Amino acid sequence: MATQIFVNLSVSDLNKSVAFFTKLGYTFNPQFTNEKATCMIISDTIYVMLLTKPFFQTFTQKEIIDAHKAIETSIALSADSKDAVNEMVEKAVAAGASIPNPATDYGFMYQHSFDDLDGHHWEYVWMDPNGAPEHQG
């Protein structure tokens, strides 16, 4: 069985977050959805659990940061092309996301990012498998 990853993110308004990510083309598993949380499906092995802040707090003694002020992580996902990267960022901006940095093009790799409604940082990356520089050293 392939390893699965479940990224857990706190959100201020679950319904607004679901609406935002639905506009980006993501779907949700109704089996793991209620008024406190939902399971967003990225792929067959990648899921993002969106948890209301009070529910998220039940899993930790630590303070939940304000992702608009501090970064807790950068979620990076691959895309099939530069156009696919740009399309996802455009959808995110149209749905209310902000762009913290301009796109970066290294020739063999292209990346662009956005911050979602709660300030979580998302990066979409395309890499040319034949264009990566050889490792030196």
> Which residue has better confidence, 30 or 2?
30
User: Do 82 and 107 fall into the same domain?
Assistant: yes
Residue 133 has pLDDT above 70, yes or no: no
> Which residue has better confidence, 8 or 137?
8
Asked whether residue 39 is domain-assigned, the answer is yes
Residue 75 has pLDDT above 60, yes or no: yes
Structural domain harbouring 1: 1-61
Report, in angstroms and rounded to the nearest whole number, the Rg of the chain calculated over CA atoms. Answer: 16
Asked whether residue 29 is domain-assigned, the answer is yes
User: Do 42 and 95 fall into the same domain?
Assistant: no
How far does CA 14 lie from the centroid of its chain? Answer: 15
Mean pLDDT in residue range 89-108: 96
User: Do 126 and 75 fall into the same domain?
Assistant: yes
Residues 6 or more apart in contact with residue 120 via CB below 8 angstroms: 9, 67, 72, 73, 75
User: Do 56 and 105 fall into the same domain?
Assistant: no
User: Do 78 and 44 fall into the same domain?
Assistant: no
pLDDT digits (tens, 9 = 90+) for 13-60: 999 999 999 999 999 999 999 999 999 999 999 999 999 999 999 999
User: Do 94 and 117 fall into the same domain?
Assistant: yes
| Domain total of the chain | 2
Asked if residue 115 lies in contact with residue 121, where contact means CB atoms within 8 angstroms, the answer is yes
Residue 88 has pLDDT above 60, yes or no: yes
10-41 burial: b if 16+ Cβ within 10 Å, else e: bbeebeebbebbeebeeebeeeeeeeebbbbe
Which two structure tokens, joined as six digits, stand for 130? 């034949």
Q: How confident is the model at residue 2 (pLDDT cuts 50, 70, 90)?
A: confident
Q: Using alpha carbons, select from 92, 87, 111 the residue that is nearest to residue 101.
A: 111
The pLDDT value recorded for residue 136 is: 54
Asked whether residue 66 is domain-assigned, the answer is no
